Amino acid sequence: MEEEARQEIIDGEQLRIMRMGYFVAAGMAVFVSLIGFFYAFIGFFVFQAISRIPQQPGQPEFPDFIGKFFGVFGLIFAVVCLTIAVLQFLTGQRLMARRSRAFCMVVAVLTCLSIPAGTFLGVCTLIVLSRQSVQRTFQQGG
């Protein structure tokens, strides 16, 4: 019985640390999404303003599609980053509640794509969630 209590304390502490890691990773993903919004701003507003500047005779016209490309790319990047942030935030909440183990493992795999810190967090999450003692905790719902 003493070994089970010890393992339960270790599991709880590791899940608590991972939960904090996912909240930090979600905050970083929101911050990185600002880069996408910056690209979108440059694409849709700055390049559009540049394309409206009157051209001198014989000078090539500024292509309009470049601004649209930057804008669309920036918006897609921002939406992907915000989606990942929401998934990581939900994972942190679910680790705290000890539920949705499969969801947490899927998000851990996605988090592995954020090299290097996300890879460390994702691999540690997969290792901890694969333990029998943690699986029992998630089946009991906390």
Where are the domains positioned within the chain? 2-53+64-137
* pLDDT at residue number 142: 60
Asked if residue 29 lies in contact with residue 84, where contact means CB atoms within 8 angstroms, the answer is: yes
Q: What is the per-residue pLDDT across 76-127, written as a single tens digit (0 to 9) for each?
A: 999 999 999 999 999 999 999 999 999 999 999 999 999 899 999 999 999 9
Residue range 12-19: mean pLDDT, rounded: 95
Identity of the amino acid at 74: G
* pLDDT at residue number 1: 67
Q: How far apart are CA 18 and CA 26, in angstroms?
A: 12
The percentage of residues in the chain with a pLDDT greater than 90, rounded to a whole number, is 68
Q: How far apart are CA 83 and CA 74, in angstroms?
A: 14
Q: How far apart are CA 109 and CA 37, in angstroms?
A: 26
Question: Considering only CA atoms, which of 30, 52, 54, 50 is closest in space to residue 42?
Answer: 50
Q: How far apart are CA 37 and CA 125, in angstroms?
A: 30
66 pLDDT tier (thresholds 50, 70, 90): confident
Asked if residue 71 lies in contact with residue 22, where contact means CB atoms within 8 angstroms, the answer is: no
Q: What is the pTM of this model?
A: 0.86
